[in-house]
């Protein structure tokens, strides 16, 4: 039952990006103790908790219902419930739903606390053999074909790493677009299926890596080495 005498709290809990053993002890403790766990999709959330040996109430919050559900969840937390928000994998809110909920909680002065752990972005950056003292997170290119090349063109003048993500089935498409915009000799780091058994890290020219992964459907993060002086190109 909600505690009517005090405000609750939201924990932003990082979960494994692939290997379930990467969960932190603190994350396990929080996910067991909170009144409910907020996830993107019920099926994925239920599967994750099952793998971790946790039973708890699941609430869904995603791009389709966030504006409506965020208010309901914020109200429950304001009444005293504690909740944890997770994404399908990695660190929540980053490139995932949750910002609308955080906005409401901050406005209501409800405490929010991060439970750090696995993050695909930081894992990929740790693999770089070129300077990463500053980088640009470009994120996901537009879905519409005619907008993708102009999106990439905006980063041609950068002097430092540029990080791109996309859905698994667009891996070959994105690499071909990078080759077209930045040139076939563009140096990249491609991290595929990190922490899983079929993990593979590719480092070299986009034209050579394309030859190895064309047609594959894999989770990935792509980092362009646009360092003008320090790069290997």
Q: Tokens representing 217?
A: 């459907």
Reading the block at residue 10, the tokens are 């939201």
For the stretch 157-196, pLDDT in tens is: 999 999 999 999 999 999 999 999 999 999 999 999 999 9
State pLDDT tens for residues 190-208. Answer: 999 999 999 999 999 999 9
pLDDT band at 229 (very low <50, low <70, confident <90, very high): low
> What is the pLDDT confidence band of residue 19, given thresholds at 50, 70 and 90?
very high
Those residues whose C-beta lies under 8 Å from the C-beta of residue 148, and which sit 6 or more positions away, are 141, 142, 177
Higher pLDDT: 120 or 229? It is: 120
Q: Which domains does the chain have, with CATH numbers?
A: 9-118 (3.40.1010.10), 121-225 (3.30.950.10)
The candidate with the shortest Cα–Cα distance to 36, out of 53, 54, 20, is 54
> Which pLDDT value is given to residue 1?
40
* pLDDT tens, residue by residue, 100-144: 899 999 999 999 999 999 999 999 999 999 999 999 999 999 999
Angstrom distance (rounded) from CA 159 to CA 48: 39
Q: Is the dihedral of CA 12, 17, 18, 22 positive or negative?
A: negative
Who contacts 22 (Cβ-Cβ below 8 Å, separation ≥6)?
16, 117, 118, 195
Confidence of residue 95 (pLDDT cuts 50, 70, 90): low
User: Where would I find the H helices in the chain?
Assistant: 25-33, 42-51, 66-78, 99-107, 120-125, 145-153, 171-182, 206-213
Instruction: Identify the pLDDT of residue 230.
Output: 46
First to last CA, the chain: 61
Residue 148 confidence (pLDDT) above 70: yes
For the chain, give percent helix, strand, coil, nearest 5.
Answer: 35, 20, 45
pTM, 2 dp: 0.86
What does the DSSP assignment read for 60-87? E--TTTHHHHHHHHHHHHHTT-EEEE--
Q: Residue 92 — φ and ψ, nearest 5°?
A: -65, 165
Q: What is the predicted pLDDT for the residue at 3? A: 44
């Amino acid at each position: 039952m909600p505690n009517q005498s005090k405000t609750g709290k939201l924990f932003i809990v990082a979960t494994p990006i692939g290997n379930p053993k990467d969960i932190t002890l603190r994350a396990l403790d929080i996910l067991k103790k909170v009144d409910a766990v907020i996830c993107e999709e019920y099926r994925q959330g239920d599967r994750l908790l099952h793998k971790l040996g946790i039973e708890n109430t699941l609430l869904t919050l995603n791009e389709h219902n966030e504006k409506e559900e965020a208010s309901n969840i914020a109200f429950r937390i304001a009444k005293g419930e504690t909740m944890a928000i997770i994404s399908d994998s990695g660190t929540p809110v980053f490139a995932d739903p949750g910002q609308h909920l955080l906005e409401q909680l901050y406005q209501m002065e409800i405490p929010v606390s991060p439970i750090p752990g696995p993050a695909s972005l930081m894992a990929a950056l740790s693999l770089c053999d070129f300077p990463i003292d500053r980088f640009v997170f470009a994120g996901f290119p537009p879905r519409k074909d005619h907008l993708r090349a102009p999106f990439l063109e905006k980063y041609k003048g950068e002097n430092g790493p540029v990080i791109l993500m996309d859905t698994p089935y667009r891996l070959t498409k994105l690499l071909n677009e990078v080759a077209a915009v930045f040139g076939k000799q563009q140096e990249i780091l491609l991290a595929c299926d990190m922490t899983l058994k079929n993990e593979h890290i590719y480092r070299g020219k986009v034209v050579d890596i394309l030859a190895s992964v064309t047609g594959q459907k894999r989770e990935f993060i792509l980092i362009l080495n646009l360092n003008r002086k320090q790069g290997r190109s």
